[in-house]
Amino acid sequence: MISVENLSVTYGDLRALDDVSIDIGDGEFVTVVGPSGCGKTTLLRTIGGLESPTAGRVRVDGDPPEAAQSNARLGFVFQDHTLLPWKTALENVTFLRRMAGKDPDPEGARDLLATTGLDGFEDTRPAELSGGMKQRVAIARAIHLGADVLLMDEPFGELDEITRDEMSVEILRLWRENRKTVVFVTHSVPEAVFLGDRCLVVSGAGTADGSGTGNGTPGRIVGEFDIDLPRPRDESVFGSEAFGRQVARVRGSLHDDA
């Protein structure tokens, strides 16, 4: 579904990503984990066509990301919920689909809000929703768009830990029900292990967000782990021994490199 070939992204003197290659299958849930400023967000944004490759290429179902944008095949969920404050939850869900020029489907949007636990909040504005609820609306918006690929950039980064765990279970359920390909960026190793079929570890410094000086190593994939925890996964996984082992393995790869 997604292929990234020898991708490098440079901003001026800063090499954010260096020679990254990934293949992601249809319906796969891939998590990308790494420290702040390692280039993982740049990777996600380049897959989604919001940044341009300096070298190498990205294909989404065989097409360049720009073509996938035009067909509304990419559904972004950002750390910042990006809901429009003057629109209700329901209007926010339908808004992006409308802007993409697709046929409206208000009933579908209502059903989706209900299945994301927002039944009764259709006419509520974002200011009156909690952080977790806002991200639920943002996720519903991406699914309602009808995208094949969900690109999630630390979507739970601003939520408290309890809400994060709930949202993780929730996103797995939505993924099961909607059969999307997901690329999920996070700096939380447990989150990456809990969610992913596969977990990519990115390491690097001196990248675009100013956290480095430009002479550090650019973002590279330093580890790749198949997460063989059985599905469906729920909260009980967090306490399991197998989960703890996987987390330790992924953590180990992060610290080897640094």
* Binding stretches for other proteins (CB under 8 A): 45, 48-50, 66, 69-70, 72, 74-76, 78, 80, 82, 84-86, 95-96, 99-101, 125, 145, 151
- Kindly state the smallest distance separating residue 234's Cβ from other proteins, in Å: 31
Q: Which residue number, 125 or 173, has a Cβ lying nearer to other proteins?
A: 125
Between CA 160 and CA 19 the distance in angstroms is 35
Between CA 120 and CA 7 the distance in angstroms is 45
- Kindly state the smallest distance separating residue 20's Cβ from other proteins, in Å: 20
Q: How many CB atoms lie within 10 A of CB 152?
A: 25
CA-to-CA separations, 57 to 3, 26, 39, 40, 181, in angstroms, rounded: 8, 19, 16, 16, 19
- The structure tokens 């447990």 sit at 190
Q: Which residue number, 110 or 125, has a Cβ lying nearer to other proteins?
A: 125
Q: Is 25 helix (H, G, I), strand (E, B) or coil?
A: coil
Between CA 146 and CA 148 the distance in angstroms is 7
Q: Which residue number, 75 or 218, has a Cβ lying nearer to other proteins?
A: 75
Q: Which residue number, 72 or 114, has a Cβ lying nearer to other proteins?
A: 72
Q: Which residue number, 66 or 256, has a Cβ lying nearer to other proteins?
A: 66
- Kindly state the smallest distance separating residue 26's Cβ from other proteins, in Å: 20
Nearest to 223 by CA among 13, 94, 40: 40
- Kindly state the smallest distance separating residue 131's Cβ from other proteins, in Å: 15
- Kindly state the smallest distance separating residue 138's Cβ from other proteins, in Å: 9
